[in-house]
Amino acid sequence: MDLEFLYKHPSQRENSDGKEGKTASAMSEKFSEKEIWMNFKNGSREAFAFMYESHFFQLFNYGRQFCTNKELVKDCIQELFVELWNKRKNLGETDAIKFYLFKSLKRKIIRKLSQHPNLSAHSQALDKNIFEIVLPIENELIAEQDEQERKQKIRNAVNKLSAQQREVIFLMFYENLSYDQIAELLSVKTKTVRNLLGKAIQSLKNKLLFILFFLLFTLF
């Protein structure tokens, strides 16, 4: 069963992988992404396990943003890592491991969904649910009658964004990817990503900001 929480920014999330987390952070302090990748290519199980430990939860969350089938997402992550290990000698260099993993996982899930139309019908998230934006938890707490209307306005505004615009926001705000990396993930030009974000901000700003400000000031 998936526990669905409001998405906290990665920095605010508790480290959910306990012991593994410690070895993971020790490793990331000692080595750069490029060195970890090189070690992994040279057959280091430690580096391989580190890559898994430090990215599994993010990869799972990312996949589930557009695929409702939890088992399918898990299978794709599994396949991805099995392939990584088996093909490690032939892989190129990278200093952006997370981006590399995100890209491969997305391709895998989309390929699997398109190869199996029946599966796709059940597992492909509805357009409005892809990278769905939810209201901040603080807003949910303000349950006063007149807040309902504001909440509805926010909902309407964020729902006007396209799935692609929401994906850009997700990848940039929460996963810290760059314009170029997002462009590659979405198979569009960097300029298009800038435009997508620009339009998203414009529409959010016009419809939302005064509401958001009101909320902010009532909160603090």
Partner 1 sequence: MRYRDFTIQDFVADEYFRKWVYQPTPEAETFWQNWLQENPSKRKEVDEARALLQQIQFRNFQASQEDFKEVWQKIESEEMPAATRPVYKLRPQPGNWRTYAFKGAVAASLLIGMIWFAFALLQSPSDSEVYFTAFNETKTVILPDHSQVSLNANSRLTFDENWEVDKPREVWLEGEAFFDIEELYKSSMPFEKVKFIVHTGNLDVEVLGTTFNVNSRRGKTQVVLNTGKVAIKANSEETGNITMEPGDLVELSENSKSFDKKLVNPEDYNAWMQKKLVFKRSPLANVAEQFQDYYGIPMQFKSDNISQQQVTGSIPTESIEMFLQVLAKSMQLHITQENDTVWIENQKQEDNP
Residues that bind partner 1 (CB under 8 A): 1-9, 11-12, 16-17, 49, 52, 56-57, 60-61, 64-65, 68-72, 74-75, 77-78, 81-82, 85-86, 112, 116, 118-119, 122, 131-137, 154, 158, 166, 169-170, 172-174, 176, 179, 194, 197-198, 201, 204-205, 208-209, 212-213, 215-216
Nearer to partner 1 by Cβ, of 26 and 134: the residue is: 134
* Burial of 67 (C-beta count, 10 Å sphere; 0-12/13-18/19+): buried
Q: How far is the CB of 132 from partner 1 (least distance, A)?
A: 5
CA distance 168 to 165: 5
Nearer to partner 1 by Cβ, of 36 and 161: the residue is: 161
* Burial of 45 (C-beta count, 10 Å sphere; 0-12/13-18/19+): exposed
Phi, psi of 17 (to 5 degrees): -105, 25
Q: How far is the CB of 164 from partner 1 (least distance, A)?
A: 14
Residues 7-13: contacts with CB under 8 Å, at least 24 apart: 7/61, 7/134, 7/174, 9/173, 9/174, 10/58, 10/174, 10/175
Nearer to partner 1 by Cβ, of 31 and 57: the residue is: 57
Q: How far is the CB of 16 from partner 1 (least distance, A)?
A: 7
Q: How far is the CB of 97 from partner 1 (least distance, A)?
A: 16
